[in-house]
């Protein structure tokens, strides 16, 4: 057993700042669209606690920071007292099983339309460029977006403050920390990427200017809750929601180096091979330069299986590996890795349905017979 355990790098302990992790398998942030009216629901207690192990790190689904942050149906928020109270029993259930739980805080920016916005106003962004209609994950429906309104320079501190307040609320709800969502074409990424950002003030143009908004948010959140409770997710190479960049490697490296000044506990980056949702391609780029530049814990995500994750750890390309679809379909994923047990197949058609059970809490665990015979 000892020899076998040594080979499963994913199941070795790791110290992430003040947190003692028992293994390196992280639950990636996964939008599930089951928070009716933007309020987390009791069925999320079972969903998250199913995926909790003692000393395991979980990152919540993307959680809106304000009433302007919405762009998808039934996604949770953390800007009202009701939402904070609704999160508490969910967080408590994770803690009861010894898990470490970070809340991913989020603003969609232009990935929205007037139907999601207060008073039917235009979504906000770093540009007034309209996002073209996108085929939804089910491959049938088409999402349509309203032309956004470019934020003025004096409005930006208000949005930064919304992130700060959301972080404070997350800690009040009992979360161990927050992950700032700076990836996948949402508001922060809309500032980072030159395919979108066309600001002509101090928030646009050079990489330093385009990164200013993200780093101001990091600074505000760190000052509010402490650097030891703050992580960030970035996807410099991804082009989700038309968020490409002309020099993603330089952008990622600049962010990784700049984050060191704030001493945040982790940087969570998405592999360049993930070009679109669920599509893994070979790519000449690498996260290694960013991993080397960032001084805290480095988390990699992007279509990993067990072998990929073990190899990334063996080659010191990352400290932790985030799993999304595999963890969604296998609530006992670390145990399955330990036993090299077969994995449940995920059903993409149930990723975003509002049902409180189907495709959510009904994926089977290994039964005791399988565990004994594996």
3-state per-residue secondary structure call for the chain: CHHHHHHCHHHCCEEECCEEECCCEEECCCCCCCCHHHCCCCHHHHHHHHCCCCCCEEECCCEECCCCCCCCCCCCECCCHHHHHHHHHHHHHHHHCCCEEEEEEECCCCCCCHHHCHHHCCCEECCCCCCCCEECCCCCCEECCCCCEECCHHHHHHHHHHHHHHHHHHHHCCCCEEEEEECCCCHHHHHHCCCCCCCCCCCCCCHHHHCHHHHHHHHHHHHHHCHHHEEEEECCCCCHHHCCCCCHHHHHHHHHHHHHHHCCCEEEEECCCEEECCEECCCCCCCHHHHHHCCCEEEEECCCCHHHHHHHHHCCCCCEEEECHHHHHCCCHHHHHHHCCCCCCCCHHHCCCCCCCCCCCCCCCCCHHHHHHC
Active site residue 186: yes
Of residues 145, 150, 152, the one with CA closest to residue 128 = 150
pLDDT at 278: 54
Of residues 31, 100, 25, 5, the one with CA closest to residue 326 = 25
∠ CA 336-337-338 to the nearest 5 degrees?
90
> What tokens does 158 get?
């208000």
pLDDT at 5: 42
The gap from C-alpha 303 to its chain's centroid, in whole angstroms, comes to 14
pLDDT at 1: 39
Of residues 193, 328, 173, 314, the one with CA closest to residue 250 = 193
Determine the Cα–Cα distance for residues 84 and 39; give it in Å rounded to an integer: 9
What SS3 string covers 119-181?
Answer: HHCCCEECCCCCCCCEECCCCCCEECCCCCEECCHHHHHHHHHHHHHHHHHHHHCCCCEEEEE
pLDDT at 207: 97
For each successive 10 residues of the chain (374 residues), what is the average pLDDT? 63 98 98 98 98 98 98 97 98 98 98 97 98 83 94 98 98 98 98 98 98 98 98 96 96 98 98 62 76 98 94 96 98 98 96 97 84 49
Task: Choose, from 47, 48, 116, 186, the residue flagged as catalytic.
Answer: 186
Q: 268 and 231 in contact (C-beta within 8 Å)?
A: yes
CA pseudo-torsion sign 294, 27, 56, 313: negative
pLDDT at 272: 83
pLDDT at 3: 44
Give the dihedral of Cα atoms 272, 333, 103, 185; nearest 10 deg: 20
> What tokens does 374 get?
């594996």
pLDDT at 141: 82
pLDDT in tens, 345-363: 999 999 999 999 999 999 9
pLDDT at 140: 79
The gap from C-alpha 336 to its chain's centroid, in whole angstroms, comes to 23
């Amino acid at each position: 057993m000892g020899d076998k355990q040594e080979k499963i790098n994913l199941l070795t302990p790791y110290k992430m700042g003040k947190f003692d992790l028992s293994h390196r398998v992280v639950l990636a942030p996964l939008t599930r669209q089951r928070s009716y009216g933007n309020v987390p629901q009791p069925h999320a207690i079972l969903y998250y606690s199913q995926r909790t192990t003692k000393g395991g790190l979980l990152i919540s689904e993307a959680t809106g920071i304000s009433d302007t942050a919405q762009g998808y149906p039934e996604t949770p928020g953390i800007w009202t007292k009701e939402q904070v109270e609704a999160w508490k029993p969910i967080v408590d259930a994770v803690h009861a099983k010894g898990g470490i739980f970070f809340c991913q805080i989020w603003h969609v920016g232009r990935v929205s339309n007037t139907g999601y916005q207060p008073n039917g106003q235009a979504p906000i962004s770093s540009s007034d460029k309209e996002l073209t209609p996108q085929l939804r994950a089910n491959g049938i429906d088409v999402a349509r977006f309203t032309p956004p309104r470019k934020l003025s320079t004096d409005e930006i501190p208000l949005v930064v403050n919304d992130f700060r307040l959301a972080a404070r609320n997350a800690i009040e709800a009992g979360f161990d920390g927050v992950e700032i969502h700076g990836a996948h074409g949402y508001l922060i990424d809309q500032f980072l990427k030159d395919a979108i950002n066309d600001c002509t003030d101090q928030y646009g143009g050079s990489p330093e200017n385009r990164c200013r908004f993200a780093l101001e948010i990091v600074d505000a959140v760190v000052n509010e809750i402490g650097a030891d409770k703050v992580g960030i997710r970035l996807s410099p190479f991804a082009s989700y929601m038309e968020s490409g960049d002309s020099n993603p490697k330089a952008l990622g490296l600049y962010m990784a180096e700049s984050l060191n000044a704030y001493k945040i506990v982790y940087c969570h980056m998405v592999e360049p091979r993930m070009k679109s949702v669920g599509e893994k391609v070979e790519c000449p780029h690498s996260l290694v330069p960013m991993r080397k530049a960032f001084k805290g814990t480095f988390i990699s995500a992007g279509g990993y299986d067990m072998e990929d994750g073990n190899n990334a750890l063996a080659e010191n390309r990352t400290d932790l590996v985030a799993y999304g679809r595999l963890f969604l379909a296998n609530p006992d994923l670390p145990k399955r890795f330990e036993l090299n047990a077969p994995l449940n197949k995920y059903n993409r058609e149930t990723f975003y349905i509002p049902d409180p059970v189907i495709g959510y809490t009904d994926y089977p665990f290994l039964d005791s017979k399988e565990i004994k015979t594996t």
